[in-house]
Structure 1
Amino acid sequence: MKKIFATVATAVALCAAVSVQARPFDAIQKAGSINMGSEGQYAPFNFFKGKTLTGYEIDVAEAVAKKMGLKYEWKAVGFDALLTGLAQDRWDLVIASHGITPEREKAVTFTVPHYCSGGQIVSLSPSIKTAADLAGKVVAVQTGTSYLDHVKKVPGVKEVKNFPTDEAARAALGSKRVDAWVTDRFVAKEMLSKTPKAGFITGDMLFIEQVAAAVSKGNTGLADAYNKAFNELKADGTIGKISQKYFQEDVTCK
């Protein structure tokens, strides 16, 4: 859902420059384990509970790996490094709320989407709820996200402030250093349920997008195997149960 890869050209260049190829599915099967990357700072999708990486996306990816007959290993890194790491063969798959965009599709191969969402306006004022209300305002977004691109297209926005994490962008709104924050609608829902007295108000959705895991560009064997396992888990209700656990609703794309 959330993010647009700001350095696609770099990623494409890395794909051409790095001689090591991403592991095809048969090599992963032979090894018996898949290496997966995520951010770990985007609750309730991927976050740390103590020292344990968890969240909707983590549970989904682990269920898919098990369905594929694989063990798994996780690596948590900064969001901007995840897709680039695919080109460097640092992991086999990443799952960290990457919205499917034409720019990203030039650099990676996406799996089927595991949820649909979009960017929602959050503020501390009931007068800031629509795109038009952002005119003359300072808006917080996370660096490298699709929110940045969409907010920049809103007419009249005074300034878009980038923050290294979504939590830092939220904190900027909470301390009134910005007028609004644009984040995933399920992140906003989670935040409101945990801090109902913080004064945050949710407004309109700026855009809707499909969110998927990603593998190295052209690694269709792995993507196909992942898709098959995911679709089987969706059909048998496993994905729905995971969704209900974190959101109390089905967040998969209809």
Structure 2
Amino acid sequence: MILTRRAALATALAAPSLALAQGDDSLAKVRAAGVLKVGNGGAFPPFEFMQAGTLTGFDIELGEELGRRMGLRIEWQVIAFAGLIAALTSGRVDTLITAMTWTADRAERIAFSTPYYKTGIAAGYRPGLAIDRPEDLAGRIVGVQVGTSGERYVRDNHAAAVKEIKVYNEFPLALQDLVVGRVECVVNTQPVLRWNIARNSRVRLGVSPIWDARDVGINTRKADAGLMAEINRHLAAMQADGFLASLDAKWFAQAG
């Protein structure tokens, strides 16, 4: 599921000279501090979740490796997903490493790195249902996580057709209600749905094909071109040396 770098975004790797010419000191600031403050939602397994009181997952390992390669200590700040973009734009954190999928609306507010993961919108659904096409959402009670691309996809494309949209602050809460039958399906990203559903032993849930492909990236403020260029440089190296592929194999090979 790892996505090769898109040619259209490769020009971002040339940004350091432009950033310096414009007086951008974002990279110099984090290097001087020796710390990269990273926002993370903390509740989107297997990208990020708490295990025995410790934050873990794909994104956590990615962030720690990025810090190692940049020579910086990573300071994780767990923030409710709906507040992550505000935390970045306000300066509370320097970056977001939290499985943020690219959308046009988000790209107007924050910058996206070259993609480090390929994903897409899909549905997890109750036994006896066949929600394999977006049109199959019609008349259903649909669970979504607030602020996610899954919520926006349902509202933008199927709000008039569904019976009800139930909104949850965190993805595990939506999945829990799917298991017990309070919602008929949950719309989110397919790899995460597959991973979590494979680990559910209470009921046999289904997962649809991907309906809308999405790219996942690391985020900075739009003005922080120097920092973003450095992040892109290291992501390219991680792609080339197999580190991203190893993360994919570790966290998603048994997604079901």
Please indicate, yes or no, whether the TM-score normalized by the shorter chain is above 0.5: yes
Partner of 2:224: 219
Give unpaired runs (5+ residues) of structure 2. 1-23
Q: Among all aligned residue pairs of Structure 1 and Structure 2, give the percentage whose two residues are the same amino acid.
A: 27
Equivalent residue for 2:187, pick from 178, 182, 190: 182
Equivalent residue for 1:135, pick from 134, 138, 153: 138
Q: The residue matched to 1:41 in structure 2 has which SS?
A: coil
Give unpaired runs (5+ residues) of structure 1. 1-21, 250-254
- Normalising by structure 2, we get a TM-score of 0.84
The question of 1:205 aligning with 2:210 is answered yes
Q: Deviations over 1:80-121 (max 9, x none)?
A: 111101121111101112111111111111111110101211
Partner of 1:4: none
Partner of 2:10: none
Partner of 1:228: 233
Contact between 1:127 and 1:133, CA under 8 Å: does it hold in 2?
no
Q: Deviations over 1:123-150 (max 9, x none)?
A: 1134332222211111000011111121
Contact between 2:190 and 2:209, CA under 8 Å: does it hold in 1?
no
Contact between 1:48 and 1:54, CA under 8 Å: does it hold in 2?
yes
Give 1 or 2: higher strand fraction.
Answer: 1
Runs of 4+ in 1 over 3 A off after TM superposition: none
Q: The residue matched to 1:105 in structure 2 has which SS?
A: helix
- Normalising by structure 1, we get a TM-score of 0.85
Partner of 2:74: 72
Partner of 2:108: 106
Contact between 1:100 and 1:211, CA under 8 Å: does it hold in 2?
yes
Partner of 1:148: 151
Give 1 or 2: higher helix fraction.
Answer: 2
Contact between 2:94 and 2:220, CA under 8 Å: does it hold in 1?
yes
Partner of 2:15: none
Deviation at 1:45, TM superposition (A): 0.3
**Number of residue pairs matched by the alignment:** 228
Deviation at 1:196, TM superposition (A): 4.3
Partner of 2:247: 242
In the alignment, residue 62 of structure 1 is paired with which amino acid? Answer: E
Give the CA RMSD over aligned residues: 1.7
Q: Deviations over 1:54-100 (max 9, x none)?
A: 11111111111111111111110101111101121111101112111
